[in-house]
């Protein structure tokens, strides 16, 4: 705003100075030229405007000699004496009184009005032409300066219209250069950000693929570990079961032997009681080891049973198709070990199965 005020005030001052120059050029020289013309005419007519000093000299000399004669066009000679015709007029003027001088002045004035006399105006025209030339030069210089100031103001106003919301007072060109630099740097920064975002997106996709592969590998590894753990557990159970089985089978055989003795009728009652107590002791011990005796029900189809729990000891011939391959009876019970993960058969049960038209030799 300060620069704008300075420019406007300087423009107004310059305009005021130019106006004064133009007034002085076109008004004052005209008045001065008119005064000079009147003086020349009065001198050519022999009329002078007396000053205080001129009146005293007029009293001593008696007359103020004009320097130029408009009738003859001759000037005074080197001694300051007038010519022949001028001497006659001067002698007549010397005999007259002051009133006569006024009458002569009036008559000469009336004679001059009646005649069309041309008076030289060489000095006045030369001075006027010089002053006009100087005025024209000053006028055109002023117009040129006003044009420059107007152009600068127009550029400034145009820039201000372009950036109406900007409060900066920096010179427009420098400001625009700064804006261009900022635009270039912002463009470069935007390009770098876009490139970085693309690289980051690519790295993110690669990381996602690697993480997916890692998760898949870990899943496979976990499944493999689980299967191996199960296998290890199974092998461990099998190993434990094999050790346990080797220690339990003699007890099972002993229990079967005692039961066989108990069903015989040849033993005494006292022996029967002792064998019965031994049988109970063996069964309690087997129960502590989670070993239980099982029996296959009669009439159950062998196709529904697992081959690990039974053993066909004999067959019973039948003509009924519905009884074919079904259990006739269990002649010897089996033993199995029951644990939290299932059960394992220690000894198969022996059964008799129905067969149609077939007898086992």
Q: What confidence tens digit (pLDDT) does each residue in 279-325 have?
A: 888 888 888 888 888 888 888 888 888 878 888 888 888 888 788 88
Mean pLDDT across the stretch 264-288? 84
**H or E element that contains 235:** helix 172-263
- Phi and psi of 342, rounded to 5°? 145, -140
Same domain, 220 and 302: no
Question: How far is it, in rounded angstroms, from Cα 135 to Cα 129?
Answer: 10
Residue 335 lies in a domain: yes
Range of the domain at 243: 170-265
Please state whether beta strands 342-347 and 349-356 pair in parallel, antiparallel, or not at all (unpaired): unpaired
DSSP letter, residue 115 = S
CA angle 296, 300, 304 (to 5 degrees): 95
Question: What pLDDT is attached to residue 206?
Answer: 92
Residue with tokens 């001028």, as numbered in its chain: 86
Residue 18 lies in a domain: yes
Same domain, 18 and 156: yes
pLDDT digits (tens, 9 = 90+) for 171-206: 555 676 788 889 899 999 999 999 999 999 999 999
Burial class (CB in 10 A: 0-12, 13-18, 19+), 33: middle
Are 94 and 63 within 8 A, CB to CB?
A: yes
Are 302 and 354 within 8 A, CB to CB?
A: no
Residue with tokens 């210089």, as numbered in its chain: 141
How many distinct structural domains can be found in the chain?
Answer: 3
Nearest to 121 by CA among 46, 41, 43: 41
Same domain, 314 and 295: yes
Are 95 and 87 within 8 A, CB to CB?
A: no
User: Above 70 in pLDDT, residue 163?
Assistant: no
Are 259 and 225 within 8 A, CB to CB?
A: no
User: Above 50 in pLDDT, residue 91?
Assistant: no
Please state whether beta strands 349-356 and 291-294 pair in parallel, antiparallel, or not at all (unpaired): unpaired
Find the CATH number of the domain harbouring 344. 2.30.22.10
Residue 281 lies in a domain: no
Same domain, 260 and 224: yes
């Amino acid at each position: 705003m300060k620069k704008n005020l300075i420019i406007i005030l300087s423009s107004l001052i310059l305009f005021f100075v130019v106006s004064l120059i133009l007034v002085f050029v076109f008004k004052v020289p005209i008045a001065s030229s008119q005064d000079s013309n009147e003086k020349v005419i009065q001198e050519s007519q022999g009329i002078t405007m007396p000053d205080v000093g001129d009146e005293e000299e007029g009293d001593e000399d008696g007359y103020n000699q004009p320097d130029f004669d408009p009738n003859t066009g001759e000037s005074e000679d080197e001694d300051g004496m007038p010519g022949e015709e001028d001497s006659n007029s001067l002698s007549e003027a010397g005999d007259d009184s002051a009133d006569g001088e006024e009458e002569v002045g009036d008559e000469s004035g009336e004679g001059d009005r009646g005649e069309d006399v041309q008076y030289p105006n060489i000095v006045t025209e030369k001075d006027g032409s010089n002053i006009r030339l100087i005025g024209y030069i000053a006028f055109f210089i002023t117009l040129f300066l006003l044009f420059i100031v107007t152009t600068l103001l127009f550029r400034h106003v145009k820039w201000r219209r372009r950036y109406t919301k900007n409060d900066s007072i920096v010179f427009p060109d420098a400001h625009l250069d700064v804006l261009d630099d900022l635009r270039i740097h912002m463009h470069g920064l935007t390009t770098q950000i876009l490139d970085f975002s693309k690289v980051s997106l690519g790295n993110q996709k690669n990381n996602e693929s690697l993480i997916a592969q890692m998760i898949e590998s870990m899943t496979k590894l976990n499944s493999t570990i689980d299967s191996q753990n199960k296998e290890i557990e199974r092998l461990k159970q099998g190993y434990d079961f094999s050790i346990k089985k080797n220690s339990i089978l003699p007890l099972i055989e002993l229990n079967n032997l005692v039961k066989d003795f108990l069903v015989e009728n040849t033993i005494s009652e006292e022996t029967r009681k002792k064998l019965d107590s031994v049988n109970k002791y063996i069964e309690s011990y087997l129960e502590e080891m989670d070993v239980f005796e099982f029996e296959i029900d009669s009439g159950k189809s062998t196709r529904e049973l697992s081959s690990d729990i039974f053993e066909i000891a004999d067959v019973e011939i039948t003509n009924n198709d519905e009884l074919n391959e079904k259990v006739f009876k269990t002649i010897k019970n089996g033993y199995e070990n029951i644990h939290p993960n299932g059960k394992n058969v220690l000894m198969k049960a022996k059964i008799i199965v129905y067969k149609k038209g077939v007898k086992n030799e």
